[in-house]
Structures are given as structure tokens and as C-alpha cells.
Structure 1
Amino acid sequence: MAIEVEVIRAWPRRFEWVRVSLPEPATVADALAASGFDTRQCDGYAIHGERTTADAELRDGDRLELLRPLQADPKESRRRRAQRPR
């Protein structure tokens, strides 16, 4: 039996999306290979927004997201905003 998985790679103001069909059981690594996306700049993976690993098993209808590295430390950004005069 085959499963359908969406693989999404996003940047600010744009994204790429592909649907792949994989034989069961399928892992994140299988979906990445089938998607054809370049994952060298990928910082991790998430299934429906929950961080996961390359060996995690996928289910039919899952949305696999490729995560980008953070451009700024969120704690440092908040600190700078708090120090700005109002």
C-alpha cells in the first residue's frame, strides 16, 4: 500500500511544495529522497510542525517541513526590542 506525503520547503515570502507517493513503511529520509529537494541547507525536519528525525516513520497525509537555520537568536532579538526607547 502507498502513502501520500507533502514535502514543503519555505523561505520568507515564498515556498516550494511537492506531493510524493511512497510505499509503506516510509521514513522522512525516504520522502526527502523522493522530493528531489536539496537538503544541504536544511537545519532539521518537522511533521505537522513537530520536530522529528530522518528515521521517523510517516503516515498517509503527513506534511513534512524542511526547517531553515535561524537567522537571529530569538532571545537576543527580544532583548534588543525591549531596550529600544518607546
Structure 2
Amino acid sequence: MIRVEVVLAWPDRVERRALELAEGATVADALAAAALPGADDCPAVSVHGILARPAQVLHDQDRVELLRPLLADPKDNRRRRARGG
């Protein structure tokens, strides 16, 4: 058995699930087991901050993070700040 944590952070709250999964479990297995509300709206997943694919095998103490869609383009935000606006 391995222990992993699945996390989905919102601006005002954090949803998390601590799971025990079988050796060889994948990111997709962890997401299915966690069943976090709002997970279907997340376009990407990372493990310890590094983008991960659903078939990636997890290890003990991994942290699976659901990545929410960007609300604004970071390049546009930088340009706006550079213009002083």
C-alpha cells in the first residue's frame, strides 16, 4: 500500500483527500478514488508541482494536485502591469 494526497485548491478553500492505494496505482486511480467535487473542470494534474499524465505511477507520500484553468493570461497581466495599469 502507498499513501498519497489529492488536493484541489480554490481561492477560498482547499479540498483534499488522503488515500491509501495499492502499489502501482496511477494518477488516474488516485483521482477516481478521491472523487473531489470540481475535479472534472481541471484541465491538468501535477505530482509535487510537476505536470503528470493519468498513467503515471504514484509512489508513497506523493501529492497529486489538480490544476484549475487560468482566469487570465499571465502574459497579458504582465503587459498591463508594465504599462502601469
SS in 2 for 1:69: coil
Which residue does 2:16 correspond to in 1?
A: 17
CA apart distance, 1:40: 1.4
Q: List, as ranges, runs of 4+ consecutive aligned residues in structure 1 with deviation greater than 2 Å.
A: none
TM-score by length of 2: 0.93
CA apart distance, 1:70: 0.5
CA apart distance, 1:13: 3.0
Which residue does 1:75 correspond to in 2?
A: 75
SS in 1 for 2:40: coil
Single out whichever of 8-17 and 24-33 deviates more from structure 2. Answer: 8-17
Deviations 1:27-77 (A, max 9, x none): 000000110114210110000011111111100000000000001000110
What RMSD in Å do the two structures reach over aligned CA positions? 1.1
CA apart distance, 1:12: 1.1
The percentage of aligned residue pairs carrying the same residue is 50
Q: What letter is aligned with 2:78?
A: R
SS in 2 for 1:65: strand
Tell whether the 8 Å contact from 2:15 to 2:36 is kept in structure 1 after alignment.
no
CA–CA distance in structure 2, aligned partners of residues 32 and 23 of structure 1: 14
Structure 1 runs not aligned, ≥5 long: none
Larger-Rg structure: 1
Structure 2 runs not aligned, ≥5 long: none
TM-score by length of 1: 0.92
Once the two structures are superposed, the pairs formed by residues 1-86 of structure 1 within 5 Å of their partners are: 2-38=1-37, 39-84=39-84
Q: What letter is aligned with 1:20?
A: L
